[in-house]
Amino acid sequence: MTPGPRPAGSREPGDVDEAVFDVVERIPPGRVSTYGAVGRLVGVGPRRVARALSAGGAAVPWHRVLRADGTAAEPVRARQLELLAAEGVPARGGRVDLRAVGWPDDGDG
DNA sequence: TTACTGACGATAA
DNA sequence: CTTATCGCCAGTA
């Protein structure tokens, strides 16, 4: 598949975006995740997840990805809270309770 | 090459 | 609660 030699275990930039989109599509409706959580599942940093969504997030439920404290990113804050409310995710003061609808479950109890 | 920026995260004060 | 700093990764000038 790959036309040229490259270090084993590494991925091409495009593949990283695909991996991010794949995880985001796995987030069930009515639930939310975080850039950090998605990044850990994919194996990249949270900033790389944000970069991927900013580039091609339109094809995935990007609105289910919030910041670590349950708040939405500035450039999409209003739009994101609107979409979340439409699928039954409550927000309080522009903040979502990750302990209630966070995904994957932390197993906290 | 260095410097700046960004849909982030954690910690300190 | 807010503000500031550092670490992180990638893109752009």
User: What is the tens place of the pLDDT at every residue in A67-87?
Assistant: 999 999 999 999 999 999 999
Distance between the alpha carbon (CA) of A75 and the C1' atom of B8, Å: 14
Q: What is the pLDDT of residue A68?
A: 96
Which chain C nucleotides are covered by protein, judged by CB under 7 A? 1, 7-11
Instruction: Read off the tokens for A10.
Output: 């590494």
Q: What is the pLDDT of residue A107?
A: 66
Q: What is the distance between the alpha carbons of residues A62 and A18, in angstroms, rounded to a whole number?
A: 13
Distance between the alpha carbon (CA) of A100 and the C1' atom of C13, Å: 43
Specify the fold of A13-101: Arc Repressor Mutant, subunit A (1.10.10)
Task: Kindly report the average pLDDT of chain A as a whole number.
Answer: 88
Sign of the CA dihedral running A53, A58, A61, A63? positive
pLDDT band at A57 (very low <50, low <70, confident <90, very high): confident
Per-domain boundaries in chain A: 13-101
Instruction: Read off the tokens for A30.
Output: 């009515």
Distance between the alpha carbon (CA) of A27 and the C1' atom of C11, Å: 27
Decide if pLDDT at A109 tops 50: yes
Supply the pTM of this predicted model: 0.88
